[in-house]
Amino acid sequence: MKIAVDAMGGDYAPLEIVFGAVRAAKKYECEIVLVGDEPAIRKVLEHEPDWEKLGISIVHASQVIGMDEHPADAVRTKKDASVVVATRLVKDGICDAVLSAGSTGAAVTAAQLILRRIKGIGRPTIATPMPTPKGVTLLLDSGANVDSKPVHLVQSGLMGSLYAQYVFGVKEPRVGLLNIGEEETKGNEQAKATYQLLKNMHTIRFAGNAEGRDVPKGNFDVVICDGFVGNVVLKFAEGLAKTILKLIKEAVKNGGLFAKLGALLLMPTLKKLGKRLDVTEYGGAPLLGVNGCVIISHGSSNAKSICSAIGVAVDYVKGDVLAHIRDSLAKEEILTNDGEKN
């Protein structure tokens, strides 16, 4: 198995990306192709003289797509951008998966233009794994599309369910529709129409509407929503977690000796808990719906999260998620037809 990694994408690229790749090469049974500015990558690899023996190789790419560039324009004009070259390696059958922590828009656009959508899928979606007390909840779409039609949400549900099944090993994943109430009649036009389509599907286990509070509680394995809502919710969660942590730190700092001692004693326990809830333990969110395994990592990814994300790619390929999506689409006839029209 060979994973193409965009070595130039991300806030700490190429340093953390390359170190993450080295970690992953030691941890997983896969080869890694680092794509980007060869001299810069080689410079980082000087710290790991045995990199070639680990199964790491370099493919040079002379350009980089910045976070502030218009994704579609950049992908079309920068033919030698690292994310474009890396995605093409999958298209050409040289690699089995591609991973980028650079501009999400650019990675999604490159995937759509180069790998193309799976036949029958109207829009690819980003599936973000969220740690919960009960395991992992997959939230999709978390930002690839807005103003999605109900059929797109249903296709997300199907793909997310297969992903949870074949990558996380969840038997019959409970799929929920993010909504503002439990009842079938609740929600906006999009949610109400989506509910009716989900009710009639036979390839997934639709478990009804999921309210906002059900997501962090882990009451569903897969939660589907429009990319606008998914993106807002994920960024909100990120902001809330950071804010709480910051406030606790400040409170301890200003809290006198007892508070400081208490924090010290409690630290190992909280660290263990933090690890359990740490999103970097997953490191990457798959883009589902294109012909190839594409993993999107957070811009702030460090070596640890890149390594985890490569693990996600390995699991995705091993789980043969693509074949399962294609098989299931063939079984849901209405969906396939609607999907092509949309």
Which residues here bind its own copies, judged by CB under 8 A?
A: 132-133, 143, 146-147, 178-180, 187-189, 191, 211-218, 225-229, 231-244, 246-248, 251-252, 255-256, 258-259, 261-270, 272-273, 276-277
Q: Do 33 and 57 meet the contact criterion of CB atoms below 8 Å apart?
A: yes
- Rounding to the nearest 10 degrees, give the CA dihedral for residues 184, 185, 191, 192: 100
DSSP string, 26-89: HHSS-EEEEEE-HHHHHHHHTT-TTTTTTTEEEEE--B---TTS-HHHHHHH-TTBHHHHHHHH
**Whose Cβ is closer to its own copies: residue 163's or residue 220's?**
220
- Residue nearer to its own copies on the CB measure, 60 or 299: 299
Residue 92 corresponds to which tokens in the numbers above? 């050409």
Q: How far is the CB of 147 from its own copies (least distance, A)?
A: 5
For the bound state, the minimum distance from the C-beta of residue 107 to its own copies, rounded and expressed in Å, comes to: 16
CB-nearer residue toward its own copies: 196 or 200: 196
CB of 204 vs its own copies, minimal distance in Å: 21
The C-alpha atoms of residue 20 and residue 307 are separated, in whole angstroms, by 5
What is the nearest approach in angstroms of its own copies to the Cβ of residue 125? 14
Distance of closest approach, residue 12 Cβ to its own copies, in angstroms: 19
Q: Are 193 and 153 in contact, with CB atoms under 8 Å apart?
A: no
Give me the half-sphere count of Cα atoms (radius 13 Å) on the Cβ side of residue 69: 20
Which residue, 44 or 191, is less far from its own copies as judged by CB? 191
Distance CA 142, CA 235 (A): 10
Q: Quick one: 10 or 227, whose CB is closer to its own copies?
A: 227
